[in-house]
Structure formats: C-alpha cells, structure tokens
Chain A
Amino acid sequence: GENVEQHPSTLSVQEGDSAVIKCTYSDSASNYFPWYKQELGKGPQLIIDIRSNVGEKKDQRIAVTLNKTAKHFSLHITETQPEDSAVYFCAASDGYGGSQGNLIFGKGTKLSVKP
C-alpha cells in the first residue's frame, strides 16, 4: 500500500521568510495530493491540492509542486506570517481504483513563524 514520508517534523522561520515542507510517496498509482493545515483544537483545513497531471499550482502565498518521476511533492509558503503557525499534513490518494481514493497522511510538520 501507499506510504507517505514528510519532512521536516518541525520548522521554525522568521516572519517574512519562506517555508518549504517536502513529502515523498511510494505508490506510483497515486494521483491526488492535498495539503492540510491544522490549528490547535481545530480540524484539518484543506489549503491546496494538486493532481498528477499538473506540475505546479499556486494560490496567493502558497504553492505546491509535484515531481511524479521522483514521487515527491512540496508545499511552499512565501512571506510567512504568525498566523501561518500550525501543523501541516501532506497526503496522497492511494488510487486503488475503488469508488473513491482514501487519503494516506504524512506524519505532519509543526511550523512556527516568529514575529
């Protein structure tokens, strides 16, 4: 089955700097890769996603890149702000071909943005 590795587990940056979180996946059949942000005491919030037929996607200060050959994808946050502080999870759909693809999550990255 699918396995998703996420690095780093913790990341501390100064406000205004960029942050990059990287994930690798094992199943070449995976075709959908979302990123979630989870603030303390809240449920995960979908912030951006990418499908396997696209190499890069941007939404304001966040972007996701996908390298299918290397089986890795990354989250890029530019001009970080204190409110970006949270735990970020990457995920991959296991793409087993059923009626829906279940998500396999990475272990999470705790991002701290220092003012």
Chain B
Amino acid sequence: DTEVTQTPKHLVMGMTNKKSLKCEQHMGHRAMYWYKQKAKKPPELMFVYSYEKLSINESVPSRFSPECPNSSLLNLHLHALQPEDSALYLCASSQVLPGTGGPQYFGPGTRLTVT
C-alpha cells in the first residue's frame, strides 16, 4: 500500500483565519514533505521532516508552520495567509535512504483558496 491521505480536500479561508492541513501515511516512511503547487507548475518543496525532525525549510514565510506529531502524521498550520498562497498543497512521504534519493509518494492534495 502506497497511500498518503490528506484532509481536507478543499479549503476556503479568509486572510485572518487560522486553519490546519493534515497528512497521514502508514507505510513506515520516516521522511515526510510539504509541497506547494500552483497551476501548470511543478511541485515546490516547502518543508522536509526526517525522523520527525524538521530538516529542511525552503525559506517559507512564517505564516506557514509545519508540525510532525509522530512518524505517521504531518500537519501544516496556516495563519494570516495572502491570496497568492492559494494553491494545491501536497504531502508526500518516502523511506530515508542515506546518500541517495528514493521514491516519494504523494497524497491527493488540499486545494486551498484564500479570499
């Protein structure tokens, strides 16, 4: 099973709201990722967690706050977003393979609209 689940599927929020995106995997993967994808563009890496520790933050604004409560769960907390933050937010997971890349499995994404 290579399933990564994400909730909610769609989210509309105002610029003053606080909301959270959730991601879950049960493949025993110890690396989890948040990506942002704009229309007709490839996914852009935002955060990487490895063994529940934040290992990479690709200069993402502080209005996005990731959290990894355990090895199966990944959250993305959203606060004071801007309309340009509207996008598809993708979660992915992979095994941790020292010194080499490996397959990342993506969830279906959360379509976020900021009004």
Chain A positions near chain B (C-beta within 8 angstroms): 30-32, 34, 36, 41-46, 49, 51, 89, 92-95, 97-103, 105-108
Contact of B43 with A100 in the complex, beta carbons under 8 Å: no
The smallest beta-carbon distance between B101 and chain A, in angstroms, is 2
**Chain B residues with CB below 8 A from A108, complex form:** 40-42
Chain B positions near chain A (C-beta within 8 angstroms): 2, 4, 6, 31, 40-43, 45, 48, 50-51, 55-56, 90, 94, 96-109, 111
Contact of B105 with A99 in the complex, beta carbons under 8 Å: no
Contact of A42 with B48 in the complex, beta carbons under 8 Å: no
The smallest beta-carbon distance between A90 and chain B, in angstroms, is 9
**Chain B residues with CB below 8 A from A49, complex form:** 103
Contact of A43 with B50 in the complex, beta carbons under 8 Å: no
Q: Which residue of A lies closest to B51 (CB)?
A: A99
Contact of A105 with B102 in the complex, beta carbons under 8 Å: no
Q: Which residue of B lies closest to A108 (CB)?
A: B42
Q: Which residue of B lies closest to A101 (CB)?
A: B101
Known contacts A95-B99, A99-B96; can you find 9 more A-B pairs with CB under 8 A? Answer: A34-B104, A45-B106, A46-B104, A46-B105, A92-B101, A100-B31, A100-B96, A101-B101, A102-B101
Bound: A34/B97 CA distance, A: 15
Q: Please list 11 pairs of residues, one from A and one from B, whose beta carbons are closer than 8 Å in the complex, sorted by A's number.
A: A31-B100, A42-B109, A43-B4, A43-B106, A44-B106, A46-B105, A51-B100, A99-B98, A100-B48, A102-B56, A107-B42
Q: Which residue of B lies closest to A107 (CB)?
A: B42
Contact of B101 with A93 in the complex, beta carbons under 8 Å: yes
Contact of A46 with B108 in the complex, beta carbons under 8 Å: no
**Chain B residues with CB below 8 A from A36, complex form:** 106
Bound: A41/B103 CA distance, A: 21
Q: Which residue of B lies closest to A90 (CB)?
A: B42
Contact of A32 with B101 in the complex, beta carbons under 8 Å: yes
Bound: A103/B33 CA distance, A: 11
Contact of B42 with A100 in the complex, beta carbons under 8 Å: no
**Chain B residues with CB below 8 A from A51, complex form:** 100
Bound: A99/B56 CA distance, A: 11
